[in-house]
Amino acid sequence: MSGKLIGIARKAKLRAPLEEIDVARVSVELGIEGDKRGAMKKRQVSILAKEDWDAALAELGPDVELPWTTRRANLFVEGIDLPQTPGTQMRIGGVLFEVARETDPCEMMDAAHPGLKQALTPDWRGGILCRVLEPGDLQVGDSVELAE
């Protein structure tokens, strides 16, 4: 089963606005080039699935529309179930990632929209945190697959 990378974002500072980009260089040392969290070895890159984001928004009501960057994730993927087992590896474009843990929704989610934190809590809907095992380049449109 393979999916597709549909968004890339980074932030220069921890609570800074996210900058959407189409291409990113990813290293073992710094995660996504230009992203503040990249130096945090076990929390280098966060990945959110479109299907999970859509489910969370649906829980908030039929008229709720928020951009995926509200979640403050680095990578936005579709068409693949994100693994919920730490140690699982997945390849996106030329980069190999290892799942470290679930991305816990924080109070910034409720500041963005009341109830969003709770809507992201079930079933790892808030996404996963990964570390980089093999560096490379990412581009919107790249394939996403679980590594063998």
CA–CA dist 65, 43 (Å, integer) = 27
CA–CA dist 18, 73 (Å, integer) = 9
Domains and CATH numbers, the chain: 2-146 (2.40.33.20)
Kindly indicate the confidence band of residue 14, based on its pLDDT and cuts at 50, 70 and 90: confident
Asked if residues 136 and 31 have their Cβ atoms less than 8 Å apart, the reply is: no
At 54-111, the pLDDT tens digits run 999 999 998 999 999 999 999 999 999 999 999 999 999 999 999 999 999 888 899 8
Residue 34 Rama label (left phi>0; alpha psi -120 to 50; beta): left
CA–CA dist 100, 71 (Å, integer) = 18
Q: What angle do CA 144, 21, 87 make, to 5 degrees?
A: 35
CA–CA dist 13, 57 (Å, integer) = 26
DSSP 82: P
Residue 5's pLDDT is: 98
Q: How many CA atoms lie within 13 A of 7 on its CB side?
A: 23
Residue 107's pLDDT is: 86
